[in-house]
Structure 1
Amino acid sequence: MADWEAVGLSALDSQVYRQLLRDPGVPVAQLSEAVEEPEATVEAAVGRLIAVGLVRSGSEAAPAPVDPRSGLGMLVRERRAALDGVAAMTDQLAREFSAGQLQAEPSRLIEIAVGRDAIEARIDDMLRGATEQAVGTDTPPYVADGSHQVSGAELALLDRGVRFRAIYAAEVLDHPGWVERLGSMAQRGEQARVLPQVPVKLLIVDGRTAILPLAGDGPSTPGQARAVVVTDSALTNALQALFDQLWGQATPLRLAEPATAHPDATLINLLASGMKDEAIARQLGVSGRTLRRRIAQVQEQLGATSRFQAGLQAGRRGWE
């Protein structure tokens, strides 16, 4: 019953349509007897079925059912388009509501989240509400050892096809579990870049809402962590501009290469990311001595005197 109500039809409409599927073209009078309802009531149900495309127009006297894959499919598409329009209108009305609230009470621009759990819950809400894009920066320290784990909100965002761009401090890659996390996120569509240093942790959703830490972000003080949430303001715009500037300076992070890539492409990319030798060796599954030998061989092959030059030369030769 609930399924038929979702497309604007009643239980009687469903009953009449199912009877027509069993006995197509039966006269309305006979159809009325079969469903045990007054003839006028059945005629009204047939009219509704014609209106939604489940009964062929012009067959009122002897209703002829339409293939449900055609009739209901069209109805579902129409309802989906209408709901998409409602969703867009809801977003616009929400922005107007927020603007009105902020004008009446400017303090609503700022929200303070206190404690690790509150901060994580606020980030989760922001990610689940993203409709266009999310961008962020990340750098240690972390308030929990499990910070490398991918949250359900992050996965849901990527699975919805929302664009997600992130900039990581090179130090992040030295922390256990983070290389695997970033590889998993990349497979789901995250675009990641790396910088030697990242000035602040930051998340911005749809260019309108941003969250960043205030203080107490060390691993020993999770209960004292503070974060500020900023909504639709010049400050939000400035934070987005900061991210865009950092993004332009950052190096694309590629932790896995296609089978057609040069054999040393992964090594070059890890060197370019700023990872320490110990972390690169772990990622490649080799010893430190073997890694140093491979780096020297690559530099010699490319005619480079430094890792930076090796990265430039590899790019020019198409080692990607």
Structure 2
Amino acid sequence: MADWDAVGLSGFDALVYRQVLRDPGVPVDRHAEVLEVPTATIEATIDRLVAAGLVRSESEAAPAPVDPRSGLGMLVRERRTALDGVASMADQLAREFTAGQLRAEPSRLIEIAVGRDAIEARIDDMLRGATEQAVGTDTPPYVADGSSQVSGAELALLDRGVRFRAIYASEVLDHPGWVTRLSSMADRGEQSRVLPQVPVKLLIVDGSTAMLPLAGDTPTTTQPRAVIVTDSVLTSALQVLFDQLWRQATPLHLAAAETPDTQLLNLLASGMKDEAIARHLGISPRTLRRRITHLQDSLNATSRFQAGLNAGLRGWQ
């Protein structure tokens, strides 16, 4: 059974509507007789169906239905638009709710997540709640095995069109699986850059909520811990830190390359070690060295650095 409430119709409205569909052009009193209800009840229902755009306005005496693909389709679109507006209002109300909670209880500005599962769950919540942008920095070690896997929250964020910028320590690129992960993220729209060293892991969502790890609480600490900071001077300072690192970092070009030479050039420019590049390409180190030599020759370069410069001049990257 269709959920008629979803388009603003009661069960009885739907019953009358289906009766009109089956017997178009039949007088109102005949519908009342078939349904065994007073004529006035049918007339009131027909008025509602006319207002909903499901029955032609000039046919109340002998109601004629509008094609459901048009009439119901319009109702569905109107409800969808209204729900989108409610969803947008919910985001604004959530921000007002958070601000009110913080004024009433300032301790809510800081939250501590303890343990891998709690940290991962909090990251997931933050990413799924992002509406404008998310930024982050990443560097080993990791709190979980298989961390090179893309989470559902990350995919959902990119699929929603939320801007995602990330800075990775060059060491990340030497870990198996990470280049494949970053290539997949780049294909979906992530903007990524690399630095030789990244001072701290960091995630900031919409410039208002930030997470960073707590390290070295005690010599015997075995559980990873992270602090989540909301709407504070510290959050703003962390955003400034990210922006400064972003300006210093080198762009990563790991989205699908047009040619094997362009792919190799992008991997070299990322700062990856030869062993990691060979592993990612599925070739031996010796084959990789031959490909690099061939690439330098084709660019009339005597070094990798010069090859990168010449490739840039030729518009390869």
TM-score, with length taken from structure 2: 0.91
Report how far residue 300 of structure 1 moved: 4.1
CA 1:103–1:309 in structure 2 vs 1: closer, same or farther (change >3 Å)?
Answer: farther
Counterpart code for 1:255:
L
Q: CA deviation at 1:107?
A: 1.5
How do 1:14-163 residues align onto structure 2 when only pairs under 5 Å count?
A: 14-163=14-163
For the structure 1 residues 158 and 226, does the alpha-carbon distance in structure 2 shift closer, same or farther, using more than 3 Å as the test? same
- Bigger drift between 170-179 and 244-253 goes to 244-253
Aligned in 2, Cα 1:216/1:124: closer, same or farther, shift over 3 Å? farther
How far did 1:274 drift?
0.8
- 1:318 is matched with 315
Could you list the per-position Cα deviations for residues 137-162 of structure 1 after superposition, in whole angstroms to 9, with x for gaps in the alignment?
11101122211112222222223332
**One-letter code aligned to 2:283:** V
Measured in 1, the distance between the counterparts of 2:208 and 2:2 equals: 37
> Displacement of 1:2 after TM fit?
6.0
Are 2:292 and 1:295 aligned?
yes
**Paired residues of 2:110 and 2:229 also in contact (CA < 8 A):** yes
Gap runs ≥5 in structure 1: none
CA distance in 2, matches of 1:75, 1:283: 52
Q: Does the 8 A contact of 1:169 with 1:194 survive in 2?
A: yes
Correspondence for 2:306 among 279, 300, 309: 309
TM-score, normalising length: structure 1: 0.90
Offset, 1:36: 2.8
Task: Select the residue among 263, 267, 274 that pairs with 2:264.
Answer: 267
1:170 alignment partner in structure 2? 170
2:243 matches 1:244: yes
Seen in structure 2, the aligned counterparts of structure 1 residues 216 and 187 have a Cα distance that, compared at 3 Å, is farther
Deviations 1:11-61 (A, max 9, x none): 111111111111112111111122333222222221111111111112211
1:118-153: CA deviation from partner (whole Å, max 9, x where unpaired)? 101111111122222222211101122211112222
| Residues 33/165 of structure 1: CA separation in 2 closer, same or farther (3 Å cut) | farther
Residue type of the partner of 1:225?
A: P
Structure 2 distance, partners of 1:85, 1:298, is: 54
Render the CA deviation track for 1:50-99: whole Å, top value 9, x for unaligned. 11111111221111111122212222222222222222222222222222
Aligned residues: 315
* Cα deviation, residue 276, structure 1: 0.6
Query: How large is the RMSD of aligned CA atoms in angstroms?
Result: 2.2
Deviation at 1:115, TM superposition (A): 0.9
1:3 maps to a residue whose letter is: D
Shift of 1:223: 4.8
Q: How far apart, CA to CA, are the structure 2 residues paired with 1:223 and 1:17? A: 65
Give, in whole Å, the separation in 1 of the partners of 2:208 and 2:163: 15
- Residue ranges of structure 2 left out of the alignment (5+ in a row): none
Identical-residue share of aligned pairs (%): 80
